């Protein structure tokens, strides 16, 4: 279906030339001299592009650009050479892109086609936004999609990493082939390898038949590995082999299996930091980070929040069969200024709850829960007062949070000591003894160096001493130290960092 383009006639000569060029290129066009007529066309026909040929800094043109923005229609503004200083203002008020006159018709057609294709991509993928960070993401998607290189998508939870992976797949030559998504953090370590690479019949207890892994299912298509930073070290080694040779073995298998699959990986934390902490293999990181896309959090693209809110209201009111006029300016301003630690996912969930629960046909400021404005710091089990928190309230909140964290640490250490009592040897010093005396008496009895306990030591100090002893015993081998302590390697890495044991 030919794209519909609306061209204003503020600059009649330019409008006529562009109209002829767009019609020759197969577009459906309409020219308007009246702002009212243009508004009516926008509302009735929802064209895919509005071209402002002149007077772009005047209120009528800016109003039309704002109307197009509200209806998620791209706008191309043509500027006079004297309007260059106004380009930023025009973009801020609604124009998607600007071009400087005189404009070659072929260049305008190419720019229009790119804007229309990008808008269609946003419609297809759900990646909504006109802000510079999101437009940069869309440009990268268009650049990366045609090739088969591995892509690493990084961004906070809820920013839409899977949407980006699907967009890359949909724009690639592999569209129409399988797109397989795997949440690595949701799979137990014991099952992750089988899920990724499959297993042979009898490979382990319960393997009653051969099962194909996700890599085989994604053959000729794309596999999306979400939360790639959570996979264990043993699986990291096998994944590195797959990325290098596109070859793997099923669990319990002896025949190599070769696949043609593109890998898109994602992480909500910095894999570079994981490499520095020893939690993630550096060679695997370099293999994954061939092409990189960073998804900004919602707080870094607040200009997109009104677009997202209007889109969600339309979609969710239709899904729940409710009629909504929209959202009040006061409510919209509160949403724009909120911190959004959960990003777009949190915003969508909030809009859905308000669409279902709001008593009127418009979302008002009173419908927005007050804790939305408080951010992640409000996620305590106890609220301190109902109004602004004073200094005493902040101090109490800090104490409460510290007690909760200490309680969790004590319970975790107690559980480990109960599960592995033989692995940690504790010496309580008598008043007349020294640390050296106690160590010399006990060291060597079971081949290990004991953990010394002084009266009055905190649980954190005991834990730190236990970790130091295990690392010393195994000469810095973190995997063996984690095993003997009865904890996971990632937990050990976090403790080493917390206690500054590097």
Query: Whose CA is closest to 231, among 179, 207, 180, 267?
Result: 267
pLDDT for residue 99 is more than 80: yes
Q: What is the pLDDT of residue 120?
A: 83
Lowest-confidence pick of 150-159, 252-261, 284-293: 252-261
Q: What is the pLDDT of residue 433?
A: 46
CB 175 within 8 A of CB 168: no
- Other CB atoms within 10 A of residue 177 CB: 16
Say what angle helices 59-70 and 35-45 make with each other, to 10 degrees: 10
Pairwise pLDDT comparison (414 vs 5), residue with the higher score: 5
Give 301-376's CATH code, choosing from 3.40.50.1170, 1.10.8.60, 2.40.160.50, 1.20.1050.10. Answer: 1.10.8.60
Average pLDDT over residues 467-493: 82
3-class DSSP assignment, residue 207? coil
Distance from C-alpha of 277 to C-alpha of 500, rounded to nearest angstrom: 12
Matching fold, domains 4-125 and 420-498: no
pLDDT tens-digit readout, 340-353: 999 999 999 999 99
First CA to last CA distance, the chain = 62
pLDDT for residue 392 is more than 70: no
CB 231 within 8 A of CB 191: no
pLDDT band at 390, cuts 50/70/90? very low
Q: What is the pLDDT of residue 406?
A: 61
Distance from C-alpha of 277 to C-alpha of 275, rounded to nearest angstrom: 5
Q: What is the CATH number of domain 420-498?
A: 1.10.10.60
Q: What is the pLDDT of residue 417?
A: 55
Half-sphere exposure of 320 (CA within 13 A, CB side): 16
Distance from C-alpha of 447 to C-alpha of 331, rounded to nearest angstrom: 67
pLDDT for residue 437 is more than 60: no
pLDDT tens-digit readout, 226-255: 999 989 888 898 899 999 988 988 888 888
Q: What is the pLDDT of residue 381?
A: 39
Return phi, psi of residue 132, to 5°. -60, -40
**264: buried, middle or exposed (CB in 10 Å: 19+, 13-18, 0-12)?**
buried
Architecture of domain 141-294: 3-Layer(aba) Sandwich (3.40)
Distances (CA, A) of 480 to 238, 281, 477, 492: 20, 17, 6, 11
pLDDT tens-digit readout, 482-499: 878 878 777 888 888 888
CB 201 within 8 A of CB 175: no
pLDDT tens-digit readout, 188-214: 877 888 889 888 887 777 777 888 889
Diameter of the chain by CA atoms?
Answer: 101
pLDDT for residue 217 is more than 70: yes
pLDDT band at 376, cuts 50/70/90? low
Instruction: Return the bridge partners of 248, or none.
Output: 257
Structure-token pair, residue 76: 């191309």
**What single-letter DSSP state applies at residue 72?**
T
Pairwise pLDDT comparison (375 vs 3), residue with the higher score: 3
Average pLDDT over residues 104-120: 89
Distance from C-alpha of 402 to C-alpha of 33, rounded to nearest angstrom: 66
Distances (CA, A) of 198 to 216, 249, 253, 399: 8, 8, 9, 49
Q: What is the pLDDT of residue 453?
A: 59
Domain boundaries, the chain: 4-125, 141-294, 301-376, 380-410, 420-498
Tell the CATH topology of 4-125.
Answer: Rossmann fold (3.40.50)
**280: buried, middle or exposed (CB in 10 Å: 19+, 13-18, 0-12)?**
buried
3-class DSSP assignment, residue 303? helix
Quick one: what percent of the chain has pLDDT higher than 90?
29
Structure-token pair, residue 98: 């600007």
Distance from C-alpha of 141 to C-alpha of 288, rounded to nearest angstrom: 16
Quick one: what percent of the chain has pLDDT higher than 70?
80
Q: What is the pTM of this model?
A: 0.65
Distance from C-alpha of 183 to C-alpha of 237, rounded to nearest angstrom: 18
Lowest-confidence pick of 3-17, 272-286, 341-355, 440-454: 440-454
Give the residue carrying structure tokens 């007690």: 403
Q: What is the pLDDT of residue 399?
A: 60
CB 15 within 8 A of CB 37: no
pLDDT band at 370, cuts 50/70/90? confident
Lowest-confidence pick of 172-186, 423-437, 461-475: 423-437
């Amino acid at each position: 279906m030919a794209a519909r383009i609306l061209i204003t006639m503020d600059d009649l000569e330019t409008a006529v030339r562009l109209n002829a060029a767009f019609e020759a290129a197969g577009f459906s066009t309409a020219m308007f001299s009246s702002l009212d007529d243009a508004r009516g066309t926008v509302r009735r026909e929802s064209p895919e592009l509005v071209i402002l040929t002149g007077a772009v800094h005047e209120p009528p043109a800016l109003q039309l650009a704002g109307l197009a923005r509200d209806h998620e229609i791209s706008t191309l503004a043509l500027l006079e050479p004297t309007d260059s200083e106004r380009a930023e203002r025009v973009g801020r008020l609604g124009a998607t892109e600007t071009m400087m006159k005189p404009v070659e018709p072929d260049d305008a057609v190419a720019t229009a086609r790119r804007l229309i294709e990008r808008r269609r991509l946003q419609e297809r993928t759900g990646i909504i936004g006109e802000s510079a960070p999101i437009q940069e993401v869309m440009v990268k998607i268009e650049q990366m999609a045609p090739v088969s290189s591995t892509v690493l998508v990084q961004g906070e939870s809820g920013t839409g990493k899977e949407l980006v992976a699907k967009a890359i797949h949909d724009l690639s030559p592999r569209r129409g082939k399988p797109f397989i998504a795997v949440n690595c953090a949701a799979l137990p370590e014991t099952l992750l390898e089988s899920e990724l690479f499959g297993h042979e019949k009898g490979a382990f207890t319960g393997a009653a038949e051969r099962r194909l892994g996700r890599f085989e299912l994604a053959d000729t298509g794309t596999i999306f590995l979400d939360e790639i930073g959570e996979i264990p070290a043993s699986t990291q080694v096998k994944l590195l082999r797959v990325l290098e040779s596109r070859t793997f073995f099923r669990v319990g298998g002896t025949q190599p299996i070769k696949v043609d699959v593109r890998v898109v990986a994602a992480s909500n934390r910095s894999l570079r930091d994981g490499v520095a902490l020893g939690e993630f293999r550096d060679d695997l990181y370099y293999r994954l980070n061939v092409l990189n896309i960073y998804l900004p959090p919602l707080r870094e693209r607040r200009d997109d929040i009104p677009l997202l809110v209007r889109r969600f209201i339309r979609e969710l009111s239709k899904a729940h069969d409710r009629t909504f006029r929209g959202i009040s300016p006061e409510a919209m301003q509160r949403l724009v200024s909120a911190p959004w630690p959960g990003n777009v996912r949190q915003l969508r969930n909030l809009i859905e709850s308000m669409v279902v629960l709001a008593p009127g046909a418009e979302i008002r400021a009173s419908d927005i829960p007050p804790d939305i404005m408080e951010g992640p710091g409000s996620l305590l089990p106890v609220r301190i007062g109902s109004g602004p928190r004073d200094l005493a309230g902040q101090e109490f909140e800090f104490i409460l949070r510290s007690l909760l964290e200490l309680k969790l640490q004590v319970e975790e250490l107690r559980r480990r000591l109960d599960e592995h009592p033989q692995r940690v040897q504790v010496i309580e010093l008598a008043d007349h003894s020294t640390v050296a005396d106690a160590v010399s008496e006990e060291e060597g009895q079971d081949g290990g160096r004991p953990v010394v306990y002084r009266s009055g030591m905190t649980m954190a100090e005991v834990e730190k001493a236990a970790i130091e002893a295990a690392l010393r015993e195994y000469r810095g081998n973190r995997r063996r130290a984690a095993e003997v302590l009865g904890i996971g390697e990632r937990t050990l890495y976090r403790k080493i960092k917390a206690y500054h044991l590097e």
